Structure 1
Amino acid sequence: MTSSTKPYMIRALHEWCTDSGYTPYIVVWVSEHTDVPREYVQKNEIVLNVSYQATQHMQISNDAISFAARFGGVSRPVYVPIGNVMSIFARETGEGMGFEVEPLPESALKGPVPFNPAVAKSSAREEGEEGEEGVDRPRPSGKPSLRIVK
Structure 2
Amino acid sequence: MSGIPSNKPYLIRALHQWCTDFGFTPFIAVFVDASVEVPMEFVKNDEIVLNLSLEACHQLEMENDWISFQARFGGIPKKIMVPVSHILAIYARESGQGMSFPFDPSQIRDLQAAGSSDNVLEKPKTARPSLKIVK
Question: Does the Cα contact within 8 Å between 2:28 and 2:52 map onto a contact in 1?
Answer: yes
Structure 1 residue aligned with 2:13: 11
Q: Distance in 1 between matches of 2:102 and 2:122?
A: 23
Q: Distance in 1 between matches of 2:123 and 2:97?
A: 36
Name segments (4+ residues, structure 1) moved above 4 Å. Answer: 109-112
Structure 1 residue aligned with 2:130: none
SS at match of 2:36: coil
- Equivalent residue for 1:50, pick from 52, 56, 64: 52
Structure 1 residue aligned with 2:96: 94
With the length of structure 2 as denominator, give the TM-score of the two structures. 0.80
Percent identical pairs in the alignment equals 43
**Residues 100 and 72 (structure 1 numbering): CA distance in 2 closer, same or farther, change over 3 Å?**
same
Question: What is the letter of the counterpart of residue 18 of structure 2?
Answer: W
Q: Distance in 1 between matches of 2:33 and 2:98?
A: 23
Higher gyration radius (CA): 1
**Higher relative helix content:** 1
**Residues 42 and 97 (structure 1 numbering): CA distance in 2 closer, same or farther, change over 3 Å?**
same
Q: What are the Cα deviations for residues 32-91 of structure 1, in whole angstroms up to 9, with x where unaligned?
A: 110000000000000000011100100000001000000000000000000000000000
Give, in angstroms, the shift of residue 26 of structure 1.
Answer: 0.1
Structure 1 unpaired stretches of 5+: 117-144
SS at match of 1:14: helix
Q: Distance in 1 between matches of 2:123 and 2:28?
A: 26
- Greater RCO, 1 or 2 (C-alpha within 8 Å, sep 6+): 2
Q: How does 1:1-150 map to 2 (within 5 A)?
A: 1-101=3-103, 103=108, 105-108=116-119, 113-114=124-125, 146=135
Give, in angstroms, the shift of residue 3 of structure 1.
Answer: 0.1
Question: Does the Cα contact within 8 Å between 2:65 and 2:120 map onto a contact in 1?
Answer: no
Q: Distance in 2 between matches of 1:24 and 1:112?
A: 24
Structure 2 unpaired stretches of 5+: 128-133
SS at match of 2:90: strand
